Amino acid sequence: MSAQNPRVAVVGATGAVGREMLEVLAQRQFPASEIVPFASSRSAGGKVEYAGSELTVRELKEDSFAGFDLALFSAGGSTSEKFAPLAAKAGCVVVDNSSAWRMDPKCPLVVPEVNPRDLEWHQGIIANPNCSTIQMVVALKPLHDEAKIKRIVVSTYQAVSGTGQKAIVELETQTARLMNGQEVIPQVYPYQIAFNCLPQIDVFMDNGYTKEEMKMVNETKKIMGDDSIRVTATTVRVPVFYSHSESVNIETETKLTVEDVRRILSQAPGIIVADYPEKKIYPMPIDAAGQDDVFVGRIREDESIDNGINLWIVADNIRKGAALNAVQIGEELIRRNLLRVPK
Ligand code: NAP
Ligand code: 3JN
């Protein structure tokens, strides 16, 4: 092992995000000396695919991290809360996909296209933002740099894969049953998701917003490094398998025209502008699924205010929203020679 060819633990390797991490690591030829999949005792001994071969899943234990340089976590908040500090203590840098460490002032919250320099102050645990936040800030940071965003109003249309493997099966099963005139009994979501929309993602909080909505508010400010941006969100689950879509309205300090926005976003990293209304070309989840980029279209001036822009932003929630962003953080750590836990 070395900082340039790290030994990598993938924690939660049997899940929707973990499997995608293994695929992304292989596709990008991540320079690992070894990759080891971990999950709970339920899956220990099972196999997961990596680069055309099978790896045996190990049970995650307190002493699992000895000899590892990097751990990519996607096994839920409680696993991260318990095991991420143990990994960091063992000298293994953690990139964590859960919300457990995102708002901790000691943990950078990083999107490599937006705030890679925040990696410089990591102390062993780096947080990967929520998927809905990631795709939004990739598109908004270049506009903020140009015209200073004062306010963001976002509504999301989120795919069921954001809830994990069991929700993908639930949408498949419910769709098939309803098409055959059979009854459905919701198990993952509080109501039927097939042919429906649920204006609830995660639990409700005291202020009437859901936790997912407040993640978007708080994480956006931390990643953009600007507490003065006002953000409000409505997050909705829709019967789509992969890719989240977002309707985003921004108000800027200085004026941006539609042409300005198209030019700025066309030159920004990780973004594809798909905005040809006359040809009916705009981003859609079926096209973004399996892709790495964030797609932006339906760019319009908000004619109800002086400096307003409307955008439609779509990205694969499991790739850029989770697995890819985490792997990119690993790559950036290697590039910046930061793959070590500071003493
Ligand atoms: P999933 O499909 O349900 O997979 C969960 C994974 O965690 C499985 O590999 C499971 O292993 C493992 N796991 C559960 N409890 C564990 C334990 N005690 N010790 C070790 N491994 C354990 O869920 P997912 O969609 O992949 O999401 C996993 C987590 O990633 C979420 O809970 C969330 O925190 C995060 N996530 C983040 C984003 C984002 O917005 N960036 C998006 C989606 C998910 P078994 O096979 O042994 O059960
Ligand atoms: O629902 C979605 O589309 C994204 C879900 C993310 C998620 C799911 C379970 C737990 C998270 C997250 O990343 O915010 C968590 C969590 O709080 O860790």
Tokens encoding 218: 């708080």
Beta strands across the sheet bearing 308-315: 230-237, 149-158, 244-252, 308-315, 294-301, 271-273
- Provide the annotated active-site residues: 131, 244
Nearest to 97 by CA among 66, 71, 136, 62: 71
Residue pair 3/338 in contact by the 8 Å Cβ criterion: no
Tokens encoding 149: 């965003």
The pLDDT > 90 percentage for the chain reads 98
Tokens encoding 278: 């006359």
For the segment 50-67, the average pLDDT, to the nearest whole number, is 98
Integer Cα distance of 16 and 208 in angstroms: 29
297 lines ligand 1 (CB under 6 A): no
Tokens encoding 65: 């991290």
If 0-12 CB within 10 Å is exposed, 13-18 middle and 19+ buried, where does residue 148 land? Answer: middle
pLDDT of residue 2: 62
Domains, the chain, with CATH or none: 7-129+322-335 (3.40.50.720), 133-317 (3.30.360.10)
Best mutation site among 11, 17, 82 for ligand 1, i.e. most ligand atoms within 8 A of its Cβ? 17
For the segment 69-79, the average pLDDT, to the nearest whole number, is 98
Phi, psi of 253 (to 5 degrees): -70, -45
Closest approach atom of ligand 2 to CA 201: 1
Closest approach atom of ligand 2 to CA 322: 13
Closest approach atom of ligand 2 to CA 202: 1
Question: Which residues, listed in sequence order, are joined to residue 81 by a DSSP beta bridge?
Answer: none
How much is the CA Rg of the chain, to the nearest whole Å?
20
For the segment 63-84, the average pLDDT, to the nearest whole number, is 98
Best mutation site among 98, 203, 205, 214 for ligand 2, i.e. most ligand atoms within 8 A of its Cβ? 98
Among positive and negative, which fits the CA dihedral 104, 110, 115, 119?
Answer: positive
Phi, psi of 132 (to 5 degrees): -65, -35
Predicted model pTM: 0.97
Q: Is the pLDDT of residue 1 over 80?
A: no
Phi, psi of 57 (to 5 degrees): -75, 135
77 lines ligand 1 (CB under 6 A): yes
Average pLDDT, the chain: 97
71 SS3 class: strand
Tens digits of residue pLDDT in 171-206: 999 999 999 999 999 999 999 999 999 999 999 999
Confidence of residue 343 (pLDDT cuts 50, 70, 90): confident
Distance 8 CA to ligand 1 centre (A): 17
Ligand nearest to the CA of 326: 1
Distance 214 CA to ligand 1 centre (A): 21
pLDDT of residue 204: 98
